[in-house]
Structure 1
């Protein structure tokens, strides 16, 4: 496996990382959702630049080297973890605005030229662990398809979860037998998401009806009351209500100010959308772990479907953190992925990306209000996000063990699995999702050293 990057990909990768670093330096946007809540204090000067840089690095390093780099190596497709988590750090680190894009561009150049050189070097080793890492694709593609069943179980209990899982299995079997040209994971995810949304809407309707009935019952009780309570009894609730109202007004004021700040900088986000639109449209950049492998196989419609479902889980998180912190997501609502995958050329993708990001910034406040009102839908989004993380952790672990097996059969499984278990008992110095790929890389290096020392005979990797 090697990275074959065209001049267009190289240029727009460097431009995208440069501009992303500028946005993070200005505290306008970062890719890491965990970093974003700290940016309001950083923007106000309550967090010093060295402190903010340390936070960004601590929350991002494991994903850069444990997930972003291995997925890029094994799929041959770039991803946001390897591009934009470092640009977050470099932008925040930069003391001057003009320094940030220089550092960001330098990182983009390191990625496009360094990864290509590294893959070429790895392909010449006795044990080609990059080829072995392609074994990760099958578990990720198929297990990821069942995240809706996991999300349903988390939110609606065992019965509905089991029903969703069984229906998903039958849909996958049906697709594999009668629709061989269609990726079975796509139809499986589709039916799972449909069931999840149906359950969520039904629950929301039931909740709204119940609240309406309670309100009507309370009004009837107050109307039937013989008299009002004494002033002394009324004062404490009134005071509490006034305090709560004041707190809500203050919070709303902060959120409105943050949303207004983002709208004022809409041209910056539109430029970022333009750059991302072109980069995604080249099909050498993907939005997620699963879609990296799907894009590598040339299945762009399936990749669009996967990233659209992923967006359902992340839009509420992106919106709420954006209005709370005054900082947007570098990749917007992530809808740029399914849109740009399917557009026929980079020019249309650039226009669509700019328009999409502009619209997203201007409707932030409205979506935030809608999310606050729809409790069940908001919970469903949280559960989608958690289910995606859970299924990917399992899939990446299985894929890492398969890669270990491809490199050295039982010995490879022992090294990769042993490193994963060791990481767990040591308190996860490497985040769980990244522990498997890191184990594969370490195992690959160790096996190559053993091969050069004539202590291990490499086996052909298919």
Structure 2
């Protein structure tokens, strides 16, 4: 059943990309729109998709998938973006895209199981230390609303947001340690990072909703791009299918929508993962909605609420039904969301700032996590390698995105450590 879900997700996502209906890479959506309008050839689109997504699959999606033995959605959907767009846009091309997309999904899941077993035969099994890559991410995630506020409004307001979030976190720790909340005589622990995140998001949206349109600066997105919205609505059936599949796979703990919830799932914290996924989804609604409305190209995961549905549903079949329903509602409400974003331009603009804040936070957290994992694999050498790897990557113009330096570096240290042990140059770390 696991394999059926993953294969179908790969096949359907590749078809959506092939038919120019939906792509996962946010930056690719406007480029697909250029191709639809005849401004970009299919070959140029394919090369662009490969250049934009291949590095993220290898350097971002796959390392996280390996570190937690849970598929990070980026590793499958960025790959199906490439597969679908490189295949010709005709009847045979669509069938080929579906076939290769399904095989790719199968290979990802089957290969994952093989990789996990392979680590047991290595002199230095670095799979467990790889889990440390994501440890700082969970703790530092609560800071992203403060950074988004600082980027969009002012550093002063960002500091105020950060202070309020930090205070809430410590209050939650105090309440948990004192066991002040109980149900039926049993102490209930509240998630301190989750509470801090909620406070930060409240500050962010409170500031954003205070920002009003300046005179005639507001643009009626729904009316300007009505034809593009109609095109998205026409394909709502496709979105419901893939939404149902991804929600079901998430409920089965086969995949996660982001590194934060993935690491929480790896630690067995499904409720906390759902809260983190919800916060991310709320923050990404302005970005996904505005790019979809402007380009006529949707995301196969919609507003990412399907991951929240999957994590909080009691079983896989309820997740499947609700996943299809939530995607249907998202597409149906696109016009209303567009009008809301026009009414509150601060909320519309917050989408890009939230994305930037998350990216910056993940760059720092994953570098720290990668350094810690590398040092656990090869004490001393690990810190040295990550520092050198980061600096040389910067000097070379960042051929590897900063976010991927930590995870890729940790994998490289694991490979090097095994080679050194095999040649007797290094002893097996205790």
Give the TM-score, by structure 2 length: 0.92
Task: Quote the residue 1:219 is aligned against.
Answer: none
Secondary structure class of the residue paired with 1:126: coil
Task: Quote the residue 1:154 is aligned against.
Answer: 151
- Across the aligned residues of Structure 1 and Structure 2, the Cα RMSD in angstroms comes to 2.1
> C-alpha deviations, 1:337-367, integer Å up to 9, x for none?
1122101011111111111111211222221
In structure 2, the CA distance between the partners of 1:34 and 1:163, relative to structure 1 (3 Å rule), is: same
> What's the CA shift for 1:287?
0.9
Determine the C-alpha separation between the residues in 1 that align with 2:240 and 2:225. 21
Task: Quote the residue 1:63 is aligned against.
Answer: 56
Secondary structure class of the residue paired with 2:378: helix
Secondary structure class of the residue paired with 1:331: coil
Task: Quote the residue 2:99 is aligned against.
Answer: 102
Superposed counterparts of 1:188-207, under 5 Å: 188-201=196-209, 203-204=210-211, 207=212
> What's the CA shift for 1:308?
1.5
Task: Quote the residue 2:12 is aligned against.
Answer: 19
> What's the CA shift for 1:148?
1.3
Determine the C-alpha separation between the residues in 2 that align with 1:345 and 1:297. 20
In structure 2, the CA distance between the partners of 1:41 and 1:165, relative to structure 1 (3 Å rule), is: closer
Q: Is the 8 A contact 1:313 1:382 kept in 2?
A: no
Task: Quote the residue 1:432 is aligned against.
Answer: 402
Q: Is the 8 A contact 1:62 1:434 kept in 2?
A: no
Corresponding position: 1:38 with 2:39: no
Q: Is the 8 A contact 2:14 2:84 kept in 1?
A: yes
Determine the C-alpha separation between the residues in 2 that align with 1:19 and 1:254. 30
Task: Quote the residue 2:299 is aligned against.
Answer: 329
> What's the CA shift for 1:401?
0.4
Corresponding position: 1:183 with 2:191: yes
Determine the C-alpha separation between the residues in 2 that align with 1:130 and 1:49. 40
> What's the CA shift for 1:458?
2.0
Task: Quote the residue 2:322 is aligned against.
Answer: 352
- Consecutive unaligned residues of structure 2, counting only runs of 5 or more, are 178-188
Determine the C-alpha separation between the residues in 1 that align with 2:54 and 2:154. 35
> What's the CA shift for 1:438?
1.0
> C-alpha deviations, 1:388-431, integer Å up to 9, x for none?
11111110000000011101111111112211111111001011
> What's the CA shift for 1:30?
0.7
Q: How many residues align?
A: 415
In structure 2, the CA distance between the partners of 1:252 and 1:150, relative to structure 1 (3 Å rule), is: closer
Q: Is the 8 A contact 2:146 2:162 kept in 1?
A: yes
Query: Bigger shift: 306-315 or 23-32?
Result: 306-315
Secondary structure class of the residue paired with 1:124: coil
Q: Is the 8 A contact 1:312 1:384 kept in 2?
A: no
The structure number with the bigger radius of gyration is 1
Determine the C-alpha separation between the residues in 1 that align with 2:277 and 2:222. 31
Determine the C-alpha separation between the residues in 2 that align with 1:83 and 1:397. 23
> C-alpha deviations, 1:164-188, integer Å up to 9, x for none?
2222222222223322633321111
Determine the C-alpha separation between the residues in 2 that align with 1:326 and 1:167. 39
> What's the CA shift for 1:144?
1.1
